[in-house]
Structure formats: structure tokens, C-alpha cells
Amino acid sequence: MTQVVTVFALALALLAPAAPALAQSSAEIQELRRSIDALRESQQRIERELGEIKTLLRSRPAAQAPPDDEPKNLVLTLDGPVKGDRTAKLALLDFTDYQ
């Protein structure tokens, strides 16, 4: 029993000085409330701006997809220098435009 009382007294002695140290002055509390109010106003302003942006985006007509360009018929001639079999299943073409 005396051990329990001793432990309780020791804990109370250690924690008692911490309570006044943790307390905040009314000036600090008022400053924190002003900061919180400023943050709330800022958040409300951002939410209003976001709502305006959403409204603008909804009112715009949807972007039309670009027309599908069908590939044009391309004719390749083998007039230039060629290596390998002309009937090969795979051809590697090298094109250089020096403009």
C-alpha cells in the first residue's frame, strides 16, 4: 500500500509543475483565434474561386475532337541505293532532311 501511495505522490509531484507551464495566456489564445479566422476566410475565398472556375468550365462548350485525318496514299519508289532483298518482309528506311 505504501508503494502505491509513494508512486502516486511521485507522479503528482512530477506533473504538478507542468500544468502552469502548459497554460497559454489569453493573448496567445486570441492570436490563435485570429489566425484560425484568417485561415477560414482564406479557405472560403479559395472555395468561392474554385466554384467560379467550375462554373466557367461548365459553361464552355466541350472541346471538339480534331477530325480524323485518314492516312494519305503514300507511294515509295526504290530509285535510290538499296541493300538486301527487294521482297523482304521488313524494311528499314532512313530519311534525312537537311533543311
Residue 48's pLDDT is: 97
How do the domains of the chain map onto residue ranges? 25-59
The reported pTM is 0.41
28-64 per-position pLDDT tens digit:
889 999 999 999 999 999 999 999 999 998 888 877 7
3-state secondary structure of 92: coil
Residue 23's pLDDT is: 62
3-state secondary structure of 58: helix
